[in-house]
Amino acid sequence: MFFVLLILGFQEGIPGDYMGYKDTYNSGSVDVGIMGSTAKEGEFAYIWTVETFSKFMNFHWFVLLTAIVQCLAMGLMIKSFADRKYWYFGVLLIFFTFNIMLLQMKAMRQGYAMDMLLLAYYLLGKRKYLWSLVPAVLAYGFHNSSIIAIPFFVVLWVMMFLRRKDKTKKYTPVVVNKQKGYGTALWAAGGLFAFYVLKFVVFANYINPFLEGLDAFEYSGYLEAMEERSVSWWILLYHIVIVFAVTLYYVNEKDFFRKYLALLTIVAMFLGIGTFGFGNLMRVPAYFIVYCIVVYPNVAGMLHRSYGKQIALGFVLFNMLYVMYGTVGNMLSMNTDSGTGFGPFTFSFLNW
């Protein structure tokens, strides 16, 4: 987490959203009415944060403060709810997988919204029912798009509040019940494959051409963008394996809170396929996949206890191979001088 904080907290001069946030912060105010504004109507938390902190703190220190909040939210979730033996796996997921850290670096408002929801789930997991509502509201105040994820938090809040009088039992580590779970996991993985076929075969070959032929269809540009980014069989295989493993964990997990986080992760896999290739819509699954920092270490722990350390490490390695194929290579390819990439990473203290 120290290295995560180092990279997040001391970044400097990365083209794109980062520079927009820097210019807004240095101006000392947020004008939501102008073109290219870094905030939307109703994002009161972000507006207040910029207009307050810019009075006594420069942007470099504000970025560090932001990184501390981000690392606190992610670290608390891992430490409190992830399998202790695989905490390191959760941190690796922050570093590389699903662009979690890249999103925190670039889309700072959405990063804050994700952090607030993480803190809301953390407080709810600790049975701090009223306190958990505060960061949930702030999440919307940082980025309106969080309205997509907030209903899932509300559902969990209500269900846990209704169960609040149940006796709290000591947490029991998950072990696979050989008599149940495999069928459910296979159905979930098969469902993801069917969803893939529906989206990239039926939609791409039949529905998409029809919609593009309609002159009045104003969003055809989004559909064209999909053709430029196709999901390879390796990416689909990864999603199917993950859905199978997480569903197996979901079926065997007895702790209601952790079970719900596993469900959110399964939802994220379907959203990942569903929004793939649709530009900014691909940010939607980030609100759900971020809980992989807890769920995947727990899956590894379940595999360790049920099938041995080698199988668990194989699961970790499988994830890291996907990282090298998808995320890291993609990030490196975007570090170009053409003006379309993110540019090379620079530490701010190198210019002090």
Residue-wise DSSP of 96-117: TGGGHHHHHHH-HHHHHHHHHH
Q: Return d(Cα 107, Cα 121) in angstroms, integer.
A: 21
Query: Would residue 352 count as lying in a domain?
Result: no
Q: Give the predicted TM-score (pTM) of the model.
A: 0.86
Query: What letter does residue 171 receive in the DSSP assignment?
Result: P
Q: Return d(Cα 316, Cα 161) in angstroms, integer.
A: 34
Query: Would residue 293 count as lying in a domain?
Result: yes
Q: What's the pLDDT at 208?
A: 57
Q: What's the token pair of residue 271?
A: 């959203």
Query: Would residue 350 count as lying in a domain?
Result: no
Do residues 11 and 345 lie in contact, with contact meaning Cβ atoms separated by under 8 Å? Answer: yes
Q: What's the pLDDT at 200?
A: 73
Total structural domains within the chain: 1
Rg of the chain (C-alpha set): 21
* Nearest CA-CA partner of 107 in 284, 323, 345, 265: 284
Do residues 226 and 273 lie in contact, with contact meaning Cβ atoms separated by under 8 Å? Answer: no
**328: number of CA atoms within 13 Å, CB side?**
12
Asked whether residue 57 carries a pLDDT value surpassing 80, the answer given is yes
Query: Would residue 159 count as lying in a domain?
Result: yes
Do residues 110 and 289 lie in contact, with contact meaning Cβ atoms separated by under 8 Å? Answer: no
Query: Would residue 347 count as lying in a domain?
Result: no
Query: Would residue 348 count as lying in a domain?
Result: no
Query: Would residue 178 count as lying in a domain?
Result: yes
Domain carrying residue 84: 2-341
Q: What's the pLDDT at 231?
A: 60
Instruction: Give tens-digit pLDDT for 287-308.
Output: 999 999 999 999 999 999 999 9
Query: Would residue 346 count as lying in a domain?
Result: no
pLDDT band at 205 (very low <50, low <70, confident <90, very high): low
